[in-house]
Amino acid sequence: MNTKYKRILLKLSGESLMGEKQYGIDEKKLAEYAGQIKEIADMGIEIGIVIGGGNIFRGLSGTAQGFDRVKGDQMGMLATVINSLALSSALNSAGQKARVFTAINMYPIGEYYSKWKAIEAMQQGEIAIISGGTGNPFFTTDTGSALRGIEIEAEVMLKGTRVDGIYTADPEKDKSAVKFDKISYDEIYNRGLKVMDLTATTMCKENHLPIIVFDMDTPGNLKKVMSGENIGTLVY
Ligand SMILES: Nc1ncnc2c1ncn2[C@@H]1O[C@H](COP(=O)(O)OP(=O)(O)OP(=O)(O)O)[C@@H](O)[C@H]1O
Ligand SMILES: O=c1ccn([C@@H]2O[C@H](COP(=O)(O)O)[C@@H](O)[C@H]2O)c(=O)[nH]1
């Protein structure tokens, strides 16, 4: 099968990993994601993955509970490591090799991330799951995935989430919101759209990394994006 991309960075929402649950990881959702990812790995695509941590902990919610912001963000980054280990385990169970890298050295939980080790893993047919965000507080995993996508020289950053693209307003709150098939980086700023943080959008803009926002919760969608089907929203 023809594929549109040879190397991608896939960003998965931590919150989506909850599936039907109120907190943590839904093993059915995890297995479903692993199946979709294996399907495109079998097409020969080199895959880097960054996962969020919102299903476990976010620094900003921590500060609302009285935690120091930096410690809260560090807890959030550790949450992304937990999700990454869970995804690597699910991929292994599906028969797909995967390696977990960490932004902060915590061997043997994962390998300390470097661009070259991640690229080497992908070239050997392993999925590089790059955890711990940027390794710094005051950032998000959207920015982490923009950073890693640029570093590993991905052709596109895929933001797999619960909504099927970018809308004129948050579609989970405003039912009259209208979807874009494509939108420029600048229009995201001008319209004040909140689908990604602005640091991530700026990094992608400055480094010419296109983004596709799509619904990862519909099985088969990841393969459709890889095959060049126009689902989701392209940011260019
Ligand atoms: N204009 C918009 N178009 C589409 N989605 C939007 C928009 N504004 C806000 N959103 C919200 O952005 C969310 C997608 O962001 P993302 O996948 O990062 O979710 P998250 O819950 O923050 O994940 P994580 O746990 O990884 O932090 C959607 O669920 C949607 O509600
Ligand atoms: O580079 C980073 C990435 C993340 N964090 C913290 O982790 C949580 C979870 O990430 P999400 O992107 O919100 O899913 C985030 O709220 C931050 O607290 C970070 O500090 N640095």
Quick one: pLDDT at residue 62? 86
Whole-complex ipTM = 0.96
The identity of residue 209, as a single letter, is: L
- Residue 95 C-alpha to ligand 1 middle, in angstroms? 30
Ligand 1 atom having least distance to the Cα of 173: 31
Calpha distance 63→125 (Å, rounded): 40
Is the shortest distance between the CB of 49 and ligand 1 below 6 Å? no
- Nearest residue (by CA) to ligand 1, atom 23, is 13
Nearest ligand (C-alpha, residue 141):
2
Q: Write out the two tokens for 62.
A: 């921590």
C-alpha 170: how far from chain center: 19
Determine the distance separating the centroid of ligand 2 and the alpha carbon of 1, expressed in angstroms: 36
| Ligand 1 mean position, distance from CA 216 (Å) | 12
* Cα dihedral 199/202/206/207 (nearest 10): 60
HSE-up of 16 (CA within 13 Å, CB side)? 21
**Number of C-alpha atoms within 13 angstroms, CB side, residue 213?**
25
Is any ligand 1 atom within 6 A of the Cβ of residue 161? yes
Pocket-forming residues, ligand 2, beta carbon under 6 Å? 14, 52-54, 58-60, 72-73, 76-77, 79-80, 133-134, 136-137, 139-142, 144
Tens of pLDDT, residue by residue, the chain (236 residues): 678 899 999 999 999 999 999 999 999 999 999 999 999 999 999 999 999 999 999 999 989 999 999 999 999 999 999 999 999 999 999 999 999 999 999 999 999 999 999 999 999 999 999 999 999 999 999 999 999 999 999 999 999 999 999 999 999 999 999 999 999 999 999 999 999 999 999 999 999 999 999 999 999 999 999 999 999 999 99
**Which listed ligand is nearest to 161 at the C-alpha?**
1
Cβ-based neighbour number of residue 203 at 10 Å: 18
Ligand 1 contact via 101 beta carbon (within 6 Å): no
Domains of the chain, first to last: 7-235 (3.40.1160.10)
3-state SS, 179-228, equals ECCEECHHHHHHHCCCCCCHHHHHHHHHCCCCEEEEECCCCCHHHHHHCC
Ligand 1 atom nearest 58 alpha carbon: 27
pTM of the model: 0.97
Report whether 145 contacts 138 (CB < 8 A). Answer: no
pLDDT of residue 2: 76
Give the atom of ligand 2 at the shortest distance from the alpha carbon of 59.
18
Helix (H, G, I), strand (E, B) or coil at 28: helix
Residue 158: phi and psi, rounded to 5, are -100, 120
